[in-house]
Amino acid sequence: MLEFTDVVTNFPKGVKKLLRELVAKPTAVLYEPLRHSRLEAAKAEAKRRKLLSEAQTKRDVIAIENGSLEYKDSVNKSLVFSTDTASISTPIDTRSEPFIDMSVFADLCKQEEELKRLHEQINKAECLKIAEEVLISTPSEQISDEELNTDWFTSWLDNAEKITAEETRYIWGKILAGEIAQPGSFSIRTLNVLKNLSMNDAMAFQKLASVISQDYCFRAVVTGLLSHYITPQEIMLMEEAGLLDNTSDNARTLSLSSNSSDCYKVALKMGKKALELSSNRPLPTPTFAILKLTTAGTELLPFAFTRHSASNSGINLLV
Protein backbone atom coordinates (compact mmCIF):
# COMPACT_ATOMS: atom_id res chain seq x y z
CA MET A 1 0.00 0.00 0.00
CA LEU A 2 1.06 3.58 -0.58
CA GLU A 3 2.44 5.60 2.31
CA PHE A 4 1.72 9.31 2.35
CA THR A 5 3.62 12.20 3.90
CA ASP A 6 3.13 15.95 3.79
CA VAL A 7 5.03 16.07 0.49
CA VAL A 8 1.84 14.91 -1.27
CA THR A 9 0.52 18.46 -0.95
CA ASN A 10 3.16 19.58 -3.44
CA PHE A 11 2.09 17.11 -6.13
CA PRO A 12 0.23 18.34 -9.23
CA LYS A 13 -3.55 18.19 -8.87
CA GLY A 14 -3.93 15.30 -11.33
CA VAL A 15 -1.32 13.16 -9.54
CA LYS A 16 -2.95 13.81 -6.16
CA LYS A 17 -6.29 12.70 -7.59
CA LEU A 18 -4.65 9.54 -8.93
CA LEU A 19 -3.16 8.79 -5.50
CA ARG A 20 -6.53 9.25 -3.79
CA GLU A 21 -8.05 6.72 -6.16
CA LEU A 22 -5.26 4.20 -5.52
CA VAL A 23 -5.49 4.54 -1.74
CA ALA A 24 -9.22 3.88 -1.92
CA LYS A 25 -8.62 0.59 -3.79
CA PRO A 26 -7.65 -2.61 -1.93
CA THR A 27 -4.99 -3.36 -4.51
CA ALA A 28 -1.25 -3.77 -4.23
CA VAL A 29 0.78 -1.78 -6.73
CA LEU A 30 4.48 -1.13 -7.21
CA TYR A 31 3.73 2.41 -8.34
CA GLU A 32 5.40 5.23 -6.37
CA PRO A 33 4.40 8.83 -7.11
CA LEU A 34 7.22 10.73 -8.83
CA ARG A 35 9.66 7.96 -7.82
CA HIS A 36 9.81 4.51 -9.29
CA SER A 37 12.49 2.66 -7.35
CA ARG A 38 10.12 -0.16 -6.31
CA LEU A 39 9.05 -0.67 -9.90
CA GLU A 40 12.65 -0.86 -11.09
CA ALA A 41 13.51 -3.25 -8.24
CA ALA A 42 10.60 -5.52 -9.20
CA LYS A 43 11.66 -5.53 -12.85
CA ALA A 44 15.21 -6.40 -11.79
CA GLU A 45 13.90 -9.24 -9.58
CA ALA A 46 11.81 -10.67 -12.43
CA LYS A 47 14.82 -10.56 -14.73
CA ARG A 48 17.02 -12.15 -12.02
CA ARG A 49 14.60 -15.06 -11.54
CA LYS A 50 14.47 -15.70 -15.27
CA LEU A 51 18.25 -15.64 -15.63
CA LEU A 52 18.78 -17.90 -12.61
CA SER A 53 16.27 -20.41 -13.90
CA GLU A 54 17.93 -20.45 -17.34
CA ALA A 55 21.40 -20.74 -15.78
CA GLN A 56 20.35 -23.66 -13.54
CA THR A 57 18.80 -25.46 -16.51
CA LYS A 58 22.01 -25.04 -18.52
CA ARG A 59 24.10 -26.37 -15.61
CA ASP A 60 21.85 -29.43 -15.29
CA VAL A 61 22.01 -30.14 -19.04
CA ILE A 62 25.83 -29.87 -19.04
CA ALA A 63 26.07 -32.14 -15.99
CA ILE A 64 23.88 -34.76 -17.65
CA GLU A 65 25.93 -34.57 -20.85
CA ASN A 66 29.25 -35.07 -19.04
CA GLY A 67 27.86 -37.90 -16.95
CA SER A 68 27.98 -36.35 -13.48
CA LEU A 69 24.18 -36.27 -13.28
CA GLU A 70 21.56 -38.63 -14.59
CA TYR A 71 17.89 -37.84 -15.20
CA LYS A 72 15.56 -40.52 -13.84
CA ASP A 73 12.24 -40.69 -15.67
CA SER A 74 10.39 -41.96 -12.64
CA VAL A 75 7.61 -40.75 -10.36
CA ASN A 76 9.67 -37.90 -8.88
CA LYS A 77 11.39 -37.02 -12.20
CA SER A 78 14.59 -36.41 -10.23
CA LEU A 79 18.21 -35.75 -11.11
CA VAL A 80 20.65 -38.11 -9.33
CA PHE A 81 24.44 -38.25 -9.25
CA SER A 82 25.69 -40.85 -11.70
CA THR A 83 28.15 -42.15 -9.06
CA ASP A 84 25.19 -43.15 -6.94
CA THR A 85 24.91 -46.62 -8.50
CA ALA A 86 22.19 -47.66 -6.13
CA SER A 87 20.00 -44.82 -7.28
CA ILE A 88 20.75 -45.64 -10.90
CA SER A 89 20.27 -49.36 -10.67
CA THR A 90 17.17 -49.27 -8.47
CA PRO A 91 14.96 -46.37 -9.45
CA ILE A 92 12.17 -45.42 -7.09
CA ASP A 93 9.46 -46.26 -9.58
CA THR A 94 9.89 -47.66 -13.06
CA ARG A 95 6.26 -47.60 -14.13
CA SER A 96 6.05 -46.39 -17.73
CA GLU A 97 2.82 -44.41 -17.49
CA PRO A 98 3.20 -40.67 -16.66
CA PHE A 99 3.12 -39.84 -12.95
CA ILE A 100 3.49 -36.47 -11.23
CA ASP A 101 5.23 -35.82 -7.93
CA MET A 102 2.56 -33.55 -6.43
CA SER A 103 4.93 -31.86 -3.97
CA VAL A 104 7.25 -30.86 -6.83
CA PHE A 105 4.25 -29.86 -8.94
CA ALA A 106 2.88 -27.68 -6.11
CA ASP A 107 6.22 -25.91 -5.72
CA LEU A 108 6.41 -25.22 -9.46
CA CYS A 109 2.84 -23.88 -9.48
CA LYS A 110 3.63 -21.59 -6.54
CA GLN A 111 6.75 -20.24 -8.24
CA GLU A 112 4.87 -19.72 -11.50
CA GLU A 113 2.03 -17.89 -9.72
CA GLU A 114 4.46 -15.64 -7.84
CA LEU A 115 6.26 -14.74 -11.05
CA LYS A 116 2.94 -14.13 -12.82
CA ARG A 117 1.76 -11.79 -10.06
CA LEU A 118 5.10 -9.97 -10.13
CA HIS A 119 4.79 -9.36 -13.87
CA GLU A 120 1.17 -8.21 -13.45
CA GLN A 121 2.24 -5.67 -10.83
CA ILE A 122 5.01 -4.43 -13.13
CA ASN A 123 2.56 -4.03 -16.02
CA LYS A 124 0.13 -2.11 -13.84
CA ALA A 125 2.82 0.15 -12.42
CA GLU A 126 4.18 0.93 -15.89
CA CYS A 127 0.72 2.06 -17.05
CA LEU A 128 0.28 4.14 -13.90
CA LYS A 129 3.66 5.77 -14.48
CA ILE A 130 2.57 6.87 -17.96
CA ALA A 131 -0.69 8.27 -16.55
CA GLU A 132 1.34 10.18 -13.98
CA GLU A 133 3.59 11.68 -16.66
CA VAL A 134 0.54 12.91 -18.57
CA LEU A 135 -1.14 14.31 -15.43
CA ILE A 136 2.01 16.19 -14.38
CA SER A 137 1.82 18.23 -17.58
CA THR A 138 -1.97 18.71 -17.37
CA PRO A 139 -2.95 22.18 -16.01
CA SER A 140 -4.89 22.08 -12.74
CA GLU A 141 -7.84 23.93 -14.29
CA GLN A 142 -8.29 20.98 -16.68
CA ILE A 143 -8.62 18.49 -13.81
CA SER A 144 -12.22 17.95 -12.74
CA ASP A 145 -13.10 17.57 -9.05
CA GLU A 146 -15.55 14.81 -9.97
CA GLU A 147 -14.65 11.43 -8.51
CA LEU A 148 -13.60 8.56 -10.74
CA ASN A 149 -16.21 5.82 -11.14
CA THR A 150 -15.19 2.88 -8.93
CA ASP A 151 -16.31 0.20 -11.39
CA TRP A 152 -14.46 1.95 -14.22
CA PHE A 153 -11.21 2.13 -12.23
CA THR A 154 -11.52 -1.51 -11.17
CA SER A 155 -11.93 -2.52 -14.80
CA TRP A 156 -8.92 -0.41 -15.79
CA LEU A 157 -6.70 -1.99 -13.09
CA ASP A 158 -7.80 -5.52 -14.06
CA ASN A 159 -6.90 -4.87 -17.70
CA ALA A 160 -3.70 -2.87 -17.15
CA GLU A 161 -1.99 -5.74 -15.33
CA LYS A 162 -2.15 -7.81 -18.53
CA ILE A 163 -0.59 -5.18 -20.82
CA THR A 164 3.00 -6.00 -21.78
CA ALA A 165 3.59 -4.07 -25.03
CA GLU A 166 5.06 -0.60 -24.54
CA GLU A 167 2.85 1.03 -27.21
CA THR A 168 -0.29 -0.45 -25.65
CA ARG A 169 0.76 0.61 -22.14
CA TYR A 170 1.02 4.17 -23.47
CA ILE A 171 -2.60 4.06 -24.62
CA TRP A 172 -3.85 2.61 -21.32
CA GLY A 173 -1.89 5.20 -19.37
CA LYS A 174 -3.23 8.05 -21.49
CA ILE A 175 -6.79 6.74 -21.10
CA LEU A 176 -6.48 6.68 -17.30
CA ALA A 177 -5.05 10.21 -17.30
CA GLY A 178 -7.91 11.41 -19.50
CA GLU A 179 -10.52 9.75 -17.30
CA ILE A 180 -9.00 11.22 -14.13
CA ALA A 181 -8.96 14.68 -15.71
CA GLN A 182 -12.53 14.39 -17.00
CA PRO A 183 -14.51 11.38 -15.69
CA GLY A 184 -16.82 9.99 -18.36
CA SER A 185 -14.36 10.53 -21.21
CA PHE A 186 -13.97 6.77 -21.76
CA SER A 187 -16.61 4.12 -21.14
CA ILE A 188 -16.09 0.64 -19.70
CA ARG A 189 -17.28 -0.64 -23.08
CA THR A 190 -14.34 1.17 -24.68
CA LEU A 191 -11.94 -0.55 -22.26
CA ASN A 192 -13.43 -3.92 -23.24
CA VAL A 193 -13.08 -3.12 -26.95
CA LEU A 194 -9.48 -1.98 -26.48
CA LYS A 195 -8.37 -5.06 -24.53
CA ASN A 196 -9.67 -7.35 -27.29
CA LEU A 197 -8.14 -5.47 -30.24
CA SER A 198 -5.76 -7.53 -32.35
CA MET A 199 -2.81 -6.10 -34.26
CA ASN A 200 -4.79 -6.45 -37.50
CA ASP A 201 -7.71 -4.54 -35.97
CA ALA A 202 -5.40 -1.75 -34.84
CA MET A 203 -3.65 -1.47 -38.21
CA ALA A 204 -6.99 -1.28 -40.05
CA PHE A 205 -8.24 1.35 -37.59
CA GLN A 206 -5.11 3.43 -38.16
CA LYS A 207 -5.86 3.50 -41.86
CA LEU A 208 -9.54 4.31 -41.34
CA ALA A 209 -8.64 7.19 -39.01
CA SER A 210 -6.96 8.98 -41.91
CA VAL A 211 -10.33 9.35 -43.70
CA ILE A 212 -12.60 9.99 -40.70
CA SER A 213 -14.50 13.25 -40.46
CA GLN A 214 -15.72 13.73 -36.87
CA ASP A 215 -17.16 10.24 -36.21
CA TYR A 216 -17.97 9.07 -39.73
CA CYS A 217 -16.50 8.57 -43.20
CA PHE A 218 -18.12 8.46 -46.61
CA ARG A 219 -18.85 4.95 -47.81
CA ALA A 220 -18.15 5.99 -51.42
CA VAL A 221 -14.68 7.21 -50.45
CA VAL A 222 -13.76 4.04 -48.57
CA THR A 223 -15.37 1.45 -50.85
CA GLY A 224 -14.73 3.32 -54.11
CA LEU A 225 -11.97 5.90 -54.24
CA LEU A 226 -9.83 4.19 -51.61
CA SER A 227 -10.92 0.57 -51.96
CA HIS A 228 -7.29 -0.37 -52.66
CA TYR A 229 -6.33 1.25 -49.35
CA ILE A 230 -9.01 -0.05 -46.95
CA THR A 231 -10.33 -3.44 -47.99
CA PRO A 232 -13.85 -4.84 -47.37
CA GLN A 233 -12.24 -7.45 -45.10
CA GLU A 234 -10.77 -4.68 -42.95
CA ILE A 235 -14.17 -2.99 -42.72
CA MET A 236 -15.61 -6.27 -41.46
CA LEU A 237 -12.76 -6.62 -38.96
CA MET A 238 -13.50 -3.21 -37.48
CA GLU A 239 -17.22 -3.95 -37.28
CA GLU A 240 -16.54 -7.21 -35.46
CA ALA A 241 -14.06 -5.47 -33.14
CA GLY A 242 -16.68 -2.92 -32.07
CA LEU A 243 -15.01 0.09 -33.72
CA LEU A 244 -17.46 0.56 -36.60
CA ASP A 245 -21.23 0.46 -36.36
CA ASN A 246 -22.30 -2.86 -37.82
CA THR A 247 -25.12 -1.88 -40.20
CA SER A 248 -26.08 -3.05 -43.66
CA ASP A 249 -24.93 -1.28 -46.82
CA ASN A 250 -26.23 2.31 -47.13
CA ALA A 251 -28.24 1.93 -43.89
CA ARG A 252 -26.61 5.02 -42.37
CA THR A 253 -26.86 8.28 -44.28
CA LEU A 254 -25.92 11.92 -43.82
CA SER A 255 -27.37 15.06 -45.45
CA LEU A 256 -24.99 17.96 -46.10
CA SER A 257 -26.21 21.44 -47.07
CA SER A 258 -24.15 23.64 -49.39
CA ASN A 259 -22.06 26.51 -48.07
CA SER A 260 -22.86 28.51 -51.22
CA SER A 261 -26.09 29.57 -52.93
CA ASP A 262 -24.58 29.70 -56.46
CA CYS A 263 -23.31 26.15 -56.57
CA TYR A 264 -23.02 23.11 -54.37
CA LYS A 265 -19.88 23.18 -52.26
CA VAL A 266 -19.08 21.64 -48.89
CA ALA A 267 -15.61 21.64 -47.35
CA LEU A 268 -14.76 19.05 -44.71
CA LYS A 269 -11.78 17.84 -42.79
CA MET A 270 -11.13 14.16 -43.42
CA GLY A 271 -8.45 12.88 -41.07
CA LYS A 272 -5.58 15.27 -41.69
CA LYS A 273 -6.75 16.03 -45.22
CA ALA A 274 -9.22 18.40 -46.85
CA LEU A 275 -12.29 17.01 -48.59
CA GLU A 276 -14.39 19.14 -50.92
CA LEU A 277 -17.77 18.04 -52.22
CA SER A 278 -18.67 20.23 -55.19
CA SER A 279 -20.93 20.75 -58.19
CA ASN A 280 -21.01 23.62 -60.72
CA ARG A 281 -24.75 24.05 -60.23
CA PRO A 282 -27.00 24.34 -57.19
CA LEU A 283 -28.36 21.03 -55.98
CA PRO A 284 -31.02 19.86 -53.57
CA THR A 285 -29.38 18.84 -50.33
CA PRO A 286 -27.83 15.45 -51.18
CA THR A 287 -27.73 12.44 -48.90
CA PHE A 288 -24.55 10.36 -48.56
CA ALA A 289 -24.10 6.80 -47.36
CA ILE A 290 -21.62 6.76 -44.48
CA LEU A 291 -19.72 4.41 -42.20
CA LYS A 292 -20.10 5.52 -38.59
CA LEU A 293 -17.80 4.89 -35.65
CA THR A 294 -19.21 3.34 -32.50
CA THR A 295 -18.84 5.15 -29.18
CA ALA A 296 -15.72 3.06 -28.50
CA GLY A 297 -14.34 3.88 -31.95
CA THR A 298 -14.92 7.60 -31.39
CA GLU A 299 -13.24 7.53 -27.98
CA LEU A 300 -10.25 5.59 -29.31
CA LEU A 301 -9.87 7.70 -32.45
CA PRO A 302 -7.26 10.08 -30.90
CA PHE A 303 -5.03 7.05 -30.27
CA ALA A 304 -5.17 5.84 -33.88
CA PHE A 305 -1.78 7.18 -34.87
CA THR A 306 -2.07 7.27 -38.64
CA ARG A 307 1.29 6.04 -39.84
CA HIS A 308 -0.69 5.03 -42.91
CA SER A 309 -2.11 7.85 -45.02
CA ALA A 310 -3.91 8.11 -48.31
CA SER A 311 -1.71 9.31 -51.14
CA ASN A 312 -3.37 12.69 -51.76
CA SER A 313 -3.22 15.52 -49.23
CA GLY A 314 -6.53 16.83 -50.61
CA ILE A 315 -9.38 15.04 -52.32
CA ASN A 316 -11.92 16.68 -54.61
CA LEU A 317 -15.09 14.69 -55.09
CA LEU A 318 -17.55 15.82 -57.78
CA VAL A 319 -21.16 15.25 -56.84
Q: How far is CA 94 from CA 77, 91, 98, in A?
A: 11, 6, 10
Give the contacts of 119 (CB within 8 A, at least 6 positions apart). Answer: 46, 164
Region 105-126 average pLDDT: 79
Region 231-235 average pLDDT: 89
Give the contacts of 205 (CB within 8 A, at least 6 positions apart). Answer: 197, 238, 241, 243, 297, 300, 304
- Is the pLDDT confidence value at 178 over 90? yes
Region 253-275 average pLDDT: 79
Helix 102-136 with 150-160: angle, nearest 10 deg: 120
pLDDT tens string 14-67: 888 888 877 766 565 655 555 555 545 555 666 666 666 666 677 766 766 676
- Distance (Å, rounded) from C-alpha 246 to C-alpha 294? 9
For 209, phi and psi rounded to 5 degrees? -60, -25
Report angle CA 32, 37, 42 to the nearest 5 degrees: 100
- Distance (Å, rounded) from C-alpha 272 to C-alpha 306? 9
Region 62-86 average pLDDT: 56
**pTM for this model (two decimals):** 0.67
Predicted confidence at residue 194, as pLDDT, reads 93
